[in-house]
Structure 1
Amino acid sequence: MNSDDELYCEQIETNICDENEFRCRNGLCINRQFLFDGQGDCTDLTDEQSLLVIKKYHNFEHCFEQATFDCDEHWCGREMISCGDGECIPWNQRFWNGFDCSNFYTHVYNCELEERDAKSINFSITDNYGRCTMNITEFNANNDPCLLMIKCAVTLHPSCQSIGMFFTEGKDAYAYACELCQNRTLVDYASGTTFLSPFIRAYYTPKQFEIYSPDFFSKMKVRQPGLLCVIGEHMCRGIKVIHNGSTCFQYNDIFEQSYPFSPYDYLFCQSVNHSVTYCVSTTFFYRCQTSGECISKHRLFDGFVDCFDASDENNTEALNSLLPLFMKDRYNCTIDGNSSNTVMRHFLGDGTSACWHGTDEMSLSINWQQQQCFKSDDFACSLLRDLYQTTNEGQSKNILRFTSLCDSFWDLRNGSDEIDCSEWICESGWIKQQSNLSQWSGNCINPEWKCNKIWDYTDGSDEYDCNRTKSYPIPDCLLLDSNKIIPLNATNTMAGNGIVECSGGIDERVTFPCNDGFPLNERFLCNDQITCLKPMDLCNHNIDCPTGEYGSEFWCGPRPSFNTSVCKAEEFNCLEQNDTGPCIPDEDRCNDERKSCLIFHRDKHMCIHRRKYNHQRWDRLAFLPNRTDRNRKNL
C-alpha cells in the first residue's frame, strides 16, 4: 500500500555482478556454474535457452494446479502479463477471447469475453468485483439501466429476462442500448476499477452499439472497452504528473498497435519533458532517444525491448560506445565479419530471429536450432557456456561433425555443408542421391525417410516410385516465365538445380536460402526471390509479397469477400462460414487423412510438409573455420 516494493529499484538496475557470476535480465546475479545446465536459476530464465520455457516448463501452464518453486519464482517481463502463479501471456492479449491464463486470472473484469457454452455461445456476466456470474441480478449497476442494457446486449444472456432486458436478436439489443445510453459519452467497463493499470480506466462508449454486425469478430469487439483513459498521480521522468481522466485513447490505438510492451506508462507521461536531474548518470544509464525513458545500460542490446521507441536495440551508435562491462554474456550477431547487434544467449535457436540477419538461428558456422540445452552434459550446453570466453572472431567458428556433412540438413548458413557432395561416401546404412545435375546433388539420407511424402533429396527423387495411391507430395509448378502449369516429378529435371523456375520456389525448396540462412523448405518464396513467407501467411488476406502474387487463385482457391480471422493460436481458419471459420487445428491442415475445409479446401493449398527429423549424431569431428561462401573444397 505504501509502494515500498518500488523503492531503490535503481540499485538493481546498476547492480554489477562478480566475475564468477552471471547477470540475469532482471539485474540479479547467479553463480556461473549454474549457467546453461538445463535448469532455470534466474527467475526470468535468461540463464537458459528460451526453448526451455516451452519444452521443459510448458510455458508454466500447469502452475495453477501445482505448487512448485519454479512456478512461484518465475518472473514475467514487462512485455507479458503475469497470471500470478508463474504463467505469463502477452500483454496485448488481455482482451482476446480464448487466450487466457490457465487459472482464469485474465477473466477478471472480462467475463463477457469468455465463451462458457460452445453450443449456445452463452457468455457470463462480470459482477462488481470482477468475478464471473451467470445471473445478471448479481451485478449491482447502482440503478444504471444503460450499463445493465450494455451487459445484456453484448451477451444476450437469458438471466436478463428477470430485469426485462432480454433480446433474442443482437440488432434489437444494440438499438435498445443506444436508446438508454443516448445521453452518455462514457460507461464504466469495470465498475470504476483500474484493473489494467493503477492509472488506466476502461469504458464502454455508446458509439460501439450504433451498428450491429452478426459476425463473431464484430460481436467480440463490442465486448472490449471502447476507450481507455489515463487518471491519477504518477512520477514521470522525475516530475509528478496528475491526470483527471480527460485524456483517452481508442482501444485500437493501444491493443491493435505493435507496441513492444504495455504503453500505459508511456501514454501517461508522453507530454512531460525531462527534468534537470533526470537520468544524469550517463555511465550507468541510457536515455531512450524519442520516448525518453531512463534505463540501465545493462539492458542495451540484450534482445529485449526496454525503450518504447526500441532504441535500446537499434541505436548502433550507443552499441559502439558501450563499455565491456555492459557487453558481458552477449552473443555477437556477426555476418560477413560485421557485428550488427548483440543479444543474450538466451535467444539462440528459439525459432525467432533476434539478430537482424537471423544469425542467432543460423550463423555462418552453427545451426543454433539444432543446439538444444536441456541437460548439463548436453553438447549444446557446453557450446553455449563456452561463448562467454569467445572473441568476436572465434565466435563464428565451430567444430562440425563429419556425419553432418552431406546429410541433407543445413548445419551452416546457406547450406554450404550440403554442396559438392557427389563424391561423398554415405555412412553405413544411408542411401545416396543418384542424380548429378548440380552442385546440390549427391546428398545422403536415412532410408526411413524415403517415400514419407517429404522432400529430402534436393530434387525430391526420394519420393519417386513409392507405389502410393495418392498424389505426388508437392503442388504442380506454375512456371514463372510462361505461367504454364506442369507437374514436378521424375519426367523433368528442373527441381534441385539451384535455379528458381516455379512460382513459390517449390522446385528449389531444399536449395534456396532465405534471408535467415535456412532453406525455403515449406515456406513460400515471393517473386522478388527475397521474401519468404510462413505457410500461415499464405492466403490470409494480408499483402505480404511486394507483388501480391500469392493471392492468386492458383495458390488460394476461390476467395471469400471478408477480411478477418477469429481462430486461436495453433488453429487454421477455413474462411467458409462468414468470418467465423470453421477453425481447425493446424495439424489438420495438409493432412491427407482429414477433410476439414469442405468448400474452398484451403487446408489443402500449398501443402508442403516440413522436415522435423532429429538428425544429430555426435561422433567424428571436423574443424570448420569461419566461412562466408558456399565452397567447401578447402575443408
Structure 2
Amino acid sequence: MMLTTSNGHQFNAYFTDRWHEPTLMHDCLYYNSTDDFPDYEGGWHGLSQIIQYCIRPEPFEVVNSALLNVHGTVHTFNELRQQQVTSQQLCEWSAPVDLAEDYQVYLDNPNELFPNQTFNNCTRPWFGQFCQFRFDEDKSLSDIVKMSLASKSQHSENAFEITNLTCYMHLNCRTGPEPRCLDWRDVCDGKIDCMNGNDDERYCVELEISICGKDEFQFHNGQCIPMEFYRNDRANPDCLDGSDEKGSFACSEDPTMRCEDRSSGLGFTPELQYITFNCGDGNPVDIGDSRDCEKGRLSLFTKTIFSKINNPFLTIECWSAMIDSLEIKKHMNIGIQTNSPCQKSGSRCNAFISAHCPTLFAFPFFPTLFGHIYLYYSQNQSIDEVLASRNPIKPHYVCYNEQLCPFLTWTIRINGSTCRLFNGFSQKSDWFGMLKDLASIFWTYTTNNISEQHCKNDGFYQCKNSTKCILNRRLTDGFVDCIDGSDESSNYSCTVNDDLRFSCSSENKCLSHLLWLDGYKDCYHGEDEISPETSSNTESISFGTLCDGFIEINLNQYIVNTSVETDETNCDHWPCSNIYTRCDGFWNCKNGADELNCTNLSSKCLPNEFVCVLPESFSLGCLPAIRAGDEHVDSFGGSDERFYCRNKVADDPDKRYRCSNSTKCIDIFGMCRFKEMCPFGDDDRFCESSRFDDGLCFEYTNYPELEHYPNYKLFCALGEASKPSVVHFALTRRNRN
C-alpha cells in the first residue's frame, strides 16, 4: 500500500489533543503576519507576528470524536514507519503538529511508544486530526485571513451575518437589545455601558489610582510600562490605549497586535465632544459623526436600538414620526423606511406627534447614553400651542441613576429614575447634537469612585466646590473631569511630578504629554504645537542633516529674516546627494538628483527621468531630470520644483502642494477634504470621483485599497513632516522603498 497526497495548501493545526477539554481553545492555525503596514507618520515598519486562530468552545461544549466523519484514509504509526514516511512528510500532508511530534518520538523509539496511534491522511481540502475541517475557498491561510478581513468592509451591511460580531462574554453586562453587546475595549474606559449595573467600570478605580515607578511610563488609563518603551516605535504601541506613541492605523484589515490589542482609551473627549464607539477592530469612531465603522457595527447598533420591534409601546405612526424628527437617518444612513410628515420639521410634524404618541414616553426605549440615561418626551401642550410651534420636538425630561451622578440634583422621578428638565442640558433637537451635549455634562457629574480618604493623599486634586477628586496626572490632559472645569485651568498643573509634561512658555501651565503636538493649541501662544524639527531653539543637529536642503537651526529667525545664518548657509560646495540623502524619499537637491532612479514610486520612466502628473492629461508621465529644479513648474503640484514651497512656507512641512499658475502652497492633508483651495481648483480635479472625510493623504496612509492609485502616492509624498530629525552615521547607502 502506497501513501500518496495531492498538492495543495498546507494547514498544520496545533493543540489538537485539547478538543475533549471544554474550557480550552484547540485546533489552532498559526498565521505569520509579515506584511508591512503604513502608519500615519509615513514610516514603514516590518512586522512579524504569530497570530493564533483557534476553535474556542462555548462553556461545557464537548466534541464527540465518534460522530466525526473522517474525510481521508487511516494509517497507524507502524504502517507509516514501514513505508519510511518521515515526520516532515506528515507536516507537508497537513498533519497536526502534535501528531507529527508524537510520530517523531515513535520513530526514535519504535518498540516502546504509539505503534497503534493513527494518522488520518485527509482528502483535499480537508484537514485536522479527524479531517473534520475545510475552508470554502481553496486558498492559503494568508489569503483566507486577508479575504475574511476585506469581506467585512466590502459587505458591511451584512456584518452581523458575516462575523456574528465580537462580544466580551466574561461580565454579566446587558448593553441593550441583541445584537448590541459589550466590546472588551468598553471595559474601564470611563463610561458605563452596562444598563443592568456598572460592572464594566466597577473595579477600574484600582487601576486609576495606581502609581508607576520613576523609570516607568503611565498609560492614560493607569497601567505602566518601562520608560524605554515610550516613543520607541510609532507603528507598534506598547500601551493598550496607544498613548505611548503618536500614530494612526487602518485597523479594518490589519490583524496584528497594534489593532487587535488596541483600546480607544477614555470613552469621551469633552474638549471635542467625541463620544467613542468601539468598532471591534482597534479603530473607534465618534458617535454622531457621519463616518460609520468599516464593518458597519455602529449603524447596526443604532438601527437596533431605534427599530420598531425594540420600541414596542409606540404606534407605527408615532415611531415613524420620531425617527424622522430626530434626523437619525440623515446622520447614520441606517436605512429605516418611514412615511410621516416629520421628514420636514414644522407645525405639521409637531401636530402629528401630538396626535399619535403617548402623553409621556421614552424614546428610544433603552438608555441613550452611559447605560442609564433616558430621554422622555411629554405631550402636555395644548393643540393650539402645538400648531403655533414650528420648532422641532425636544425631550421634556432627562432621567438618570442618582447613585452614579450624586453631584446632580433631581426634580422628579419617572419609572424609578431621577429626572430633570431637558432644557437645562441642551438647546439642540437633533439626536446626535443632544447626545454630545448630554455627554459633556454627565461625564463631569458622574462619580469616579475615588474615596474621600484617597483624596487626602498626595497626588490627588480636589475639584472646586465639589467632593469629587481626581489624580494629579488628570490635570490639563484635555479631559474635563471637574464640574467647573477647574482641572483644565489649574495652577497646580506644573506641580505634577511628570517629566513628560510640556511647560508652556507663555503662561504658568504644564500640559499632559497627550496634548503636545495633538493639532490643537493649548498654550496661550500655541507653542505646544511647534515641533522640535521647526523650533528656533535647536542648538545641535545630526551631522547627516547638515546641508541637506532642510533648515534645522534658526528656522523661525530665518522665516522673519532670510539673511540669518542657518545650517544650510554656505553649502554650495557640499554634495547634496550622499549616503545620508540618497533615496531617502525627500528632495535634498534642488533638482532632485538624490532621488533620481530610486524605487520610491514604481514607474516606467527612464533612469534619467522623474515620474510626475502631467498637467495636460492629468495622468502619470515622465519628466526629463534636466527640467527639474529650473524654477519652471512642469508638473501638477510642483513636484519638480519642491524647494519653492519649502522656502515659502518653511514652518509648515505639510504645505507642499503648489497650486497651478499660482504662488500659493496648500496643505496636502486638506486635499479632497475641503472645497477647492487653489485659485483655479486644480487641487480638486483628481477628487471628482472620490471625496474623503479626513482628506486624501490621511486616508491614503490608512486605507490599503488606495495604494492602487499611484498619483495619490505621488501627491502625498510631497509632505515633509516625516523627515527624520536624527540621521545616524552610515557607511553604505540606504533606500526608502
AA in 1 matched with 2:458: T
After superposition, residues 136-285 of structure 1 pair within 5 angstroms as 140-143=312-315, 145-151=317-323, 166=339, 177-183=349-355, 190-202=363-375, 226-227=394-395, 229-235=397-403, 241-242=409-410, 243-248=418-423, 249-251=426-428, 262-265=439-442, 281=456, 283-285=458-460
| Cα pair 1:83 1:106 within 8 Å, conserved | no
For residue 297 of structure 1, report the CA deviation from its aligned partner: 0.5
For residue 318 of structure 1, report the CA deviation from its aligned partner: 1.4
Q: Could you say which residue in structure 1 is the equivalent of 2:116?
A: none
| 2:727 is the counterpart of 1:618 | yes
Counterpart-to-counterpart distance in 1, 2:223 and 2:295: 28
Q: Could you say which residue in structure 1 is the equivalent of 2:26?
A: none
AA in 1 matched with 2:693: A
| 2:660 is the counterpart of 1:464 | no
| 2:40 is the counterpart of 1:40 | no
Change (3 A) 1:608 1:76: closer
Deviations 1:111-158 (A, max 9, x none): 69xxxxxxxxxxxx72433xxxxxxxxx7454463224444787799x
| Cα pair 2:538 2:552 within 8 Å, conserved | no
Q: Could you say which residue in structure 2 is the equivalent of 1:342?
A: 511
SS at match of 2:473: helix
SS at match of 2:487: helix
1:414 pairs, out of 555, 565, 568, with 555
Deviations 1:477-496 (A, max 9, x none): xxxxxxxxxxxx99xxxx99
Q: Could you say which residue in structure 1 is the equivalent of 2:263?
A: 74
Change (3 A) 1:142 1:287: same
SS at match of 1:263: helix
SS at match of 2:492: helix
For residue 281 of structure 1, report the CA deviation from its aligned partner: 2.5
Counterpart-to-counterpart distance in 2, 1:467 and 1:41: 45
Q: Could you say which residue in structure 1 is the equivalent of 2:647?
A: 510
Q: Could you say which residue in structure 1 is the equivalent of 2:19?
A: none
| Cα pair 1:332 1:339 within 8 Å, conserved | no
| 2:622 is the counterpart of 1:425 | no
Deviations 1:410-439 (A, max 9, x none): 44573665542454512446999xxxxxxx
> How many residue pairs are counted as aligned between the two chains?
442
Q: Could you say which residue in structure 2 is the equivalent of 1:21?
A: 216
For residue 77 of structure 1, report the CA deviation from its aligned partner: 1.2
Counterpart-to-counterpart distance in 2, 1:539 and 1:109: 26
TM-score by length of 2: 0.45
Counterpart-to-counterpart distance in 2, 1:341 and 1:109: 40
| Cα pair 1:22 1:35 within 8 Å, conserved | yes
Change (3 A) 1:176 1:146: farther
After superposition, residues 59-138 of structure 1 pair within 5 angstroms as 60-62=251-253, 71=260, 74-78=263-267, 79=269, 80-83=275-278, 85=280, 87=282, 89=284, 93-100=286-293, 102=295, 104-110=297-303, 126-129=307-310
Q: Could you say which residue in structure 2 is the equivalent of 1:547?
A: none
Counterpart-to-counterpart distance in 2, 1:428 and 1:592: 25
| Cα pair 1:522 1:609 within 8 Å, conserved | no
For residue 14 of structure 1, report the CA deviation from its aligned partner: 3.2
Counterpart-to-counterpart distance in 2, 1:77 and 1:245: 26
1:30 pairs, out of 220, 225, 242, with 225
For residue 4 of structure 1, report the CA deviation from its aligned partner: 5.3
For residue 49 of structure 1, report the CA deviation from its aligned partner: 1.0
CA RMSD of aligned residues (A): 6.2
Q: Could you say which residue in structure 2 is the equivalent of 1:403?
A: 544
Deviations 1:210-235 (A, max 9, x none): 99x9xxxxxxx98xx94484213324
Counterpart-to-counterpart distance in 2, 1:431 and 1:13: 45
Counterpart-to-counterpart distance in 2, 1:173 and 1:260: 21
SS at match of 1:128: helix
AA in 1 matched with 2:647: V
| Cα pair 1:71 1:86 within 8 Å, conserved | yes
Change (3 A) 1:195 1:442: closer
For residue 174 of structure 1, report the CA deviation from its aligned partner: 8.0
After superposition, residues 601-616 of structure 1 pair within 5 angstroms as 610-612=718-720, 615-616=723-724
Deviations 1:300-320 (A, max 9, x none): 2446554566543443x2134
| Cα pair 2:209 2:471 within 8 Å, conserved | yes
AA in 1 matched with 2:370: S
Change (3 A) 1:512 1:166: closer
AA in 1 matched with 2:302: Y
After superposition, residues 309-348 of structure 1 pair within 5 angstroms as 311-315=486-490, 317-320=491-494, 322=495, 326-333=496-503, 341-344=510-513
- Stretches of structure 2 that go unaligned for 5 or more consecutive residues are 1-195, 270-274, 411-417, 559-565, 582-587, 597-609, 615-626, 683-689, 697-702, 731-737
| Cα pair 1:200 1:229 within 8 Å, conserved | no
For residue 296 of structure 1, report the CA deviation from its aligned partner: 0.8
AA in 2 matched with 1:146: C
Change (3 A) 1:84 1:143: same
After superposition, residues 582-593 of structure 1 pair within 5 angstroms as none
SS at match of 1:30: strand
Change (3 A) 1:240 1:519: closer
Bigger Rg over Cα: 2
Q: Could you say which residue in structure 1 is the equivalent of 2:469?
A: 294
Counterpart-to-counterpart distance in 2, 1:467 and 1:177: 58
SS at match of 1:196: coil
2:246 pairs, out of 23, 40, 50, with 50
Counterpart-to-counterpart distance in 1, 2:237 and 2:518: 16
AA in 2 matched with 1:611: G
Change (3 A) 1:111 1:291: farther
Which structure carries more relative contact order (alpha carbon 8 Å, separation 6+)?
1
SS at match of 2:302: coil
**% of aligned pairs identical?**
15
AA in 1 matched with 2:260: C
Counterpart-to-counterpart distance in 2, 1:231 and 1:446: 68
For residue 263 of structure 1, report the CA deviation from its aligned partner: 1.3
Change (3 A) 1:282 1:619: closer
SS at match of 1:286: strand
Q: Could you say which residue in structure 2 is the equivalent of 1:380?
A: none
Change (3 A) 1:298 1:173: closer
| Cα pair 2:277 2:284 within 8 Å, conserved | yes
SS at match of 1:319: helix
For residue 569 of structure 1, report the CA deviation from its aligned partner: 1.7
Counterpart-to-counterpart distance in 2, 1:285 and 1:431: 49
| Cα pair 1:406 1:443 within 8 Å, conserved | no
After superposition, residues 571-590 of structure 1 pair within 5 angstroms as none
Counterpart-to-counterpart distance in 2, 1:255 and 1:614: 36
Change (3 A) 1:189 1:126: farther
